Amino acid sequence: MSGLTPQAVLIWSSAPILQLLCVYLLYRRKLLKQFAFLASYLLFLTLLNAIRFICYREFGLSSWTYFSVYWVGTALANIAAIAVLYELFCAGFKPFAGLQDLAKIVFKWAAGSILCVAFVVFISNSASPAGAP
């Protein structure tokens, strides 16, 4: 594979740099304990981006390896994003103790509903015949 243009290198490297900067700022402001899922999520995305870049350089954009790494990584990142949203949601409602309990219940039901709908869509797409539109 030929070398990347400076613009491509900038695009590939900008997200991990910004993610690591966010983790550093969480560390500096002593918020890592409060936002542990967020920091872990950002580190996971940085690692995932590095793996994707290696697969892109070694196997190419249209390879099965890159395809698999991309979609499995995206699925894991989306699942982890729900945990991050829950963590931020709880932190936002912390001053309102009464609403926090209700909000946690509603959030859990909403997250469960989203996962159920995603599962049904996944099953319906994989069950359709290969030639069907």
Decide which of 56 and 2 is more confident: 56
Q: What is the mean pLDDT of residues 12-18?
A: 92
Whether residue 1 has pLDDT greater than 50: no
pLDDT in tens, 19-49: 999 999 999 999 999 999 999 999 999 999 9
pLDDT of residue 17: 95
Taking alpha carbons only, the member of 107, 45, 40 closest to residue 70 is 45
Buried b / exposed e across 31-58, counting CB within 10 Å, b at 16+? eeeebebbbbbbeebbebbeebbebbee
5 pLDDT more than 60: yes
For 121, other C-beta atoms within 10 Å of its C-beta total 10
Average pLDDT of the residues of the chain: 88
pLDDT at 16 over 90: yes
Query: Would you state the pLDDT for residue 82?
Result: 87
The answer to whether the beta carbons of residues 68 and 75 sit under 8 Å apart is: no
Query: Which tens digit of pLDDT belongs to each residue from 99-125?
Result: 888 888 888 898 889 889 988 988 887
Amino acid at the residue 7: Q
